[in-house]
Amino acid sequence: MGKHEEWLSVADDFAAAALDDGIWLTALSRLAALTGFRCGQLIGVGSSAAVPFNFMNDIDPAAIEEFAAIGGADPAFNPRIRAGLRSPLMKSLAEADFVTREEFEHGAYYNDYCRRHDLQFGCVMPMLRDADSMIGLAVFRGLAQGHITADERQVFDSLAPHVRSAVRTRIALEKQGALVLKGALDALAITAFICDRAGTVRTMTCSAEDALHQGTLLRLHDGRLRALQTADSRKLAEAVDKAALGPQSSNGSALATAIVVRGCDSLPVVLDVIPLPQRDYSFGFDPRVLVVLRGSNSDGDSARTLALLQTAYQLTPAEAQIAMQIAAGHAPDTIARNRSVSVSTVRVQMRSVFAKLGVRRQSELVARLNRFR
């Protein structure tokens, strides 16, 4: 493959990555190789040195975890981040453009982290930026390979607009996901607020909007849900932040958290805070958390639970029904008779339910579904 054809192929890889999460690392790897580097990076930097995402190819995952743990996105610690925040968008920067000899030879970022992971030289570029965040593109290599050459930088600069276009497309699709979910929940007459990774309410169903306008139970403050009472607001914020981390927390906690809040009339109302399935390579703009106002009658609750299982966890109608029957204490053979199917069919569907809800045993499934009831 000639140089021009290879360039076109890499540009095509990024266009495809906007629609297929699994291609990002391949595209970054090929970008790095075409520019003479070992490793490519696509990183999101938020306020307080947060790292919403950090995609890097051909590097130990522990190095990515370490980057976040040591405050690698803090501009006071990392000269690359500092330069990216100050530079015009889509301007490439190499070490010679912004790093002093003192920082390179003795600074903790270069002399420790970059030296240990062989990332001393690179080319970085801020692609998107707002008041609270930045998305950057970079390629890295070790000390032996040295600074980027003029030809390598020209290739990097020429491909960067294609990467930016792919990122913008992916973000638009992720944001659209919240609207699609809203439409599905509206059709089911569910009162729900849809939040992103930061706990910000991206959209809400029509009935949720009505509940908010009434002002007797919930309100919005800086884009986040708040209860009328301070203690209730604290519990709600903690539950949303925990859910935003994903369905499978490290301590094995339940998928849904039930929060009791009190409105103006002091009567208790239950809110279900539900983490949504996450993509492996997400920019964090997709729906992460559902906050659902629980209904009051048992028939409505059953229909609501079925709807949530199908909408939030992609269960089929049959799988949702089976999950409900398991939660009610029915054995697989009883469920099979009730549904006029074989026990083996029920067991296959149970395995699918377990996988989608992130549980391994029937008792875990019962415990988690009971949180919806």
pLDDT tens for residues 275-298? 888 788 889 888 999 999 876 444
Q: Look up the CATH number of the domain holding residue 235.
A: 1.10.10.10
User: Which among 118, 44, 42, 105 has a CA at the least distance from the CA of 79?
Assistant: 105
In terms of domains, do 155 and 255 share one? no
Boundary residue ending a domain (154, 172, 190): 172
In terms of domains, do 94 and 213 share one? no
Boundary residue ending a domain (110, 145, 172): 172
For 32-42, what is each residue's pLDDT tens digit?
999 999 999 99
In terms of domains, do 195 and 160 share one? no
In terms of domains, do 141 and 273 share one? no
Helix, strand, coil percentages, rounded to 5, for the chain: 50, 15, 30
In terms of domains, do 258 and 321 share one? yes
In terms of domains, do 158 and 65 share one? yes
In terms of domains, do 132 and 17 share one? yes
- The tally of domains found in the chain comes to 2
Angle of CA points 307, 249, 347, to nearest 5°? 50
Q: Look up the CATH number of the domain holding residue 38.
A: 3.30.450.80
Q: Considering the chain, what percentage of its residues have pLDDT values greater than 90? A: 55
- Strand intervals (E) in 178-244: 192-195, 201-204, 218-221, 224-227
Tokens at residue 30, please?
Answer: 């090929």
In terms of domains, do 275 and 337 share one? yes
For 125-164, what is each residue's pLDDT tens digit?
999 998 889 999 999 999 999 999 999 999 999 999 999 9
Domain of residue 310: give its range: 176-370
In terms of domains, do 275 and 129 share one? no
In terms of domains, do 58 and 151 share one? yes
What is the separation of C-alpha 94 from the centre of its chain, rounded to a whole number of angstroms? 30
In terms of domains, do 213 and 350 share one? yes
For 40-88, what is each residue's pLDDT tens digit?
999 999 888 889 999 999 999 999 999 999 999 999 999 999 999 999 9
